[in-house]
């Protein structure tokens, strides 16, 4: 009975979404079918051309060329990164805060005197020694991802997650392993505060919060895009230590009284 009602409700919701998206009247705001999106009518064209703040009507922007364009509005070759850490950096600060609050909540819920959880299985020889080989490569790859976040796919969030995955592997491969949770907390606090300090420096030097006050350099260079790589490294450290802390919380259990 309950299932039948749920199916009816879900189908009604689906029909509503479908008609609202695909059969509404053709106003300028009408939803475009898949693949028909037109960037020239959207703000995104400004992100691609690195030409958001200039007056769009006054001049046709010159094309940004990889390895040649100097001192563009934001120098990062990865356009998604330029949106995430430059144009909408304040948004990202809020996002990092949400992740911090979630990690704090996990820490509170799983607090108390902790010891390592009872082993569900004994790690095999291959797991133990394979992890030793892979671990360094994983950490280096994570660091590579967040230092090159403004040039290649990836960035602070994915790099931090890979570092946290390395910590998870340590937990899986050794039943006695316990990470130093305090070090994670210090790292995440320092990285988060430095992000805010970078924003306040922008406020002092450029006039608004999180202003990109460093020279943006040549598009495509490692040392380009001003504060974008610095902020992404901070985000990577913060996310990595935060998710590692969450993993450490789940891998331990309360000491039996």
Partner 1 sequence: MIQYFAIALMLVGVYGLLTQKNVIKLIVSLNIFEVGLNVFIISVGYVSGGIAPILTSQNNTSALLYVDPLPQALVLTSIVIGVGVTALALAFARRLHNQYGTYNLDEMEGE
Q: Which of 70, 90, 91, 222 binds partner 1 (CB under 8 A)?
A: 91
Q: Which stretch binds partner 1 (CB under 8 A): 86-94, 185-193, 205-213, 221-229?
A: 86-94
Paired with 253 in beta bridges are: 115
Taking the C-alpha atoms of residue 201 and residue 220, their distance in angstroms, rounded to an integer, is 25
Determine, following the binding rule CB under 8 A, whether residue 109 of this chain makes contact with partner 1. yes
Q: Which is nearer to partner 1, 63 or 205 (CB)?
A: 63
Q: Which is nearer to partner 1, 46 or 130 (CB)?
A: 46
Q: Which of 77, 162, 163, 231 binds partner 1 (CB under 8 A)?
A: 77
- Going by the DSSP 8-state scheme, the letter that residue 174 receives in this structure is -
Determine, following the binding rule CB under 8 A, whether residue 10 of this chain makes contact with partner 1. yes
Contact 171, 120 (CB under 8 A): no
Q: Which is nearer to partner 1, 97 or 193 (CB)?
A: 97
- Mapping DSSP to helix (H, G, I), strand (E, B) and coil, where does residue 70 land? strand
Paired with 115 in beta bridges are: 253
Taking the C-alpha atoms of residue 24 and residue 27, their distance in angstroms, rounded to an integer, is 8
Q: Which stretch binds partner 1 (CB under 8 A): 71-79, 135-143, 165-173, 206-214?
A: 71-79
Nearest approach in angstroms of CB 104 to partner 1 is 9
- Mapping DSSP to helix (H, G, I), strand (E, B) and coil, where does residue 139 land? helix
């Amino acid at each position: 009975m309950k299932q039948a009602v749920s199916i009816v409700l879900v189908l009604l919701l689906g029909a509503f979404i479908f008609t609202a998206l695909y059969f509404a009247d053709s106003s300028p705001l009408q939803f475009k079918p898949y693949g028909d999106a037109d960037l020239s009518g959207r703000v995104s064209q400004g992100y691609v051309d690195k030409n958001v703040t200039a007056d769009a009507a006054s001049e046709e922007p010159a094309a940004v060329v990889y390895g040649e364009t100097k001192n563009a509005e934001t120098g990062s070759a990865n356009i998604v990164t330029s949106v995430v850490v430059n144009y909408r950096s304040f948004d990202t600060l809020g996002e990092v805060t949400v992740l911090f609050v979630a990690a704090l909540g996990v820490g509170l819920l799983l607090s108390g005197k902790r010891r390592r959880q009872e082993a569900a299985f004994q790690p095999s020889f291959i797991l133990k020694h394979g992890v030793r080989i892979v671990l360094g490569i994983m950490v280096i790859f994570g660091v590579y991802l967040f230092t090159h976040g403004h040039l290649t796919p990836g960035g602070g969030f994915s790099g931090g997650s890979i570092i946290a995955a390395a910590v998870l592997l340590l937990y899986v491969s050794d039943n006695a392993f316990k990470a130093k949770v305090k070090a994670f907390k210090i790292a995440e606090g320092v990285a988060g505060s430095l992000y805010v300090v970078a924003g306040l420096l922008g406020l002092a030097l450029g006039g608004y919060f999180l202003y990109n006050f460093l020279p943006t350099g040549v598009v495509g260079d490692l040392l380009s895009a001003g504060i974008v790589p610095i902020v992404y490294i901070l985000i990577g450290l913060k996310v990595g230590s935060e998710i590692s802390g969450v993993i450490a919380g789940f891998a331990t259990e309360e000491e039996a009284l």
